[in-house]
Amino acid sequence: MDTMKRLFGRLPHYCSVSRYNCRFMCLGVLTLLLMFSSGYLFFENQALEDELEYVTHEVDILNAEVPDPIIKYAPLLVTVDDPELKELAGSMESPEEIYLFVRDKIEYSEEYNKERLAVQVLENRQGDCLGEADLLAALLIAKGYSTDDVVVAMGHVNVLGEDSHHAWVEFNNNGKWIVLDATSYLGNYEFNTWDRESYYRTFYAKPYAKFNNEGVHVNLISEAHRKKKYY
């Protein structure tokens, strides 16, 4: 009571601080404190959520609700056990040679939804960004590199001011994650040009899924980030 009187001691003289009024005042102050605390926690949590651009979840690839239906069967695209593909991978001496083969010998095609299996891309010598990435990843894994070190990333990038769906390969090269992008405009670079951070920063890349022949991780992002065009 004394504390409340001190708190409200400077109120105008016509304001009463009777026992009942003090009770109401106490309730009011407590309510305000609770509202403030709740609001603070809400905004604090919201800030943390905003700070995390996407949250990674391991999902059931058969039942997950994902940004692109193709992700549900994405691991099947990396056909590492194909005999012709394994023979080709075995004939190459380095990941750089594998990258340059896909970059220079596989024609980029805008015929989406056609050649996307790695073995199809190899056979037809053409594929879209996802098809080329599938082949590149399959060759690296068939060469003997661990699936812990090779993934296909699907997401969106900004190229020449235009946002587009895209796919690329991320490869752990002697302890350093680099991006190997063999497709179209973004494939005009040498091996080991981009580490992962600089690629993300330069092309505003935001992956929503990463996969290889063993499984898939899905990054949940807002629908606003999804685009219709592949680059």
Confidence of residue 88 (pLDDT cuts 50, 70, 90): very high
Q: Is the pLDDT score of 64 beyond 50?
A: no
pLDDT at residue 83, rounded to an integer = 97
DSSP for 20-65, written as a single string: HHHHHHHHHHHHHHHHHHHHHHHHHHHHHHHHSS-EEEE--TTT--
14 φ/ψ angles, rounded to the nearest 5 degrees: -85, 0
Q: For residue range 116-138, list pLDDT tens digits in order.
A: 899 999 999 999 999 999 999 99
Fold topology of 55-225: C8orf32 fold (3.10.620)
153 φ/ψ angles, rounded to the nearest 5 degrees: -110, 135
| Length of the chain in terms of residues written | 231
Confidence of residue 217 (pLDDT cuts 50, 70, 90): confident
Confidence of residue 115 (pLDDT cuts 50, 70, 90): low
CB 64 within 8 A of CB 218: yes
pTM above 0.95, yes or no: no
Q: For residue range 149-194, list pLDDT tens digits in order.
A: 999 999 889 888 888 889 999 999 999 999 999 987 677 788 988 9
More confident residue, 206 or 19: 206
pLDDT at residue 17, rounded to an integer = 38
At residue 227, the 3 state secondary structure works out as coil
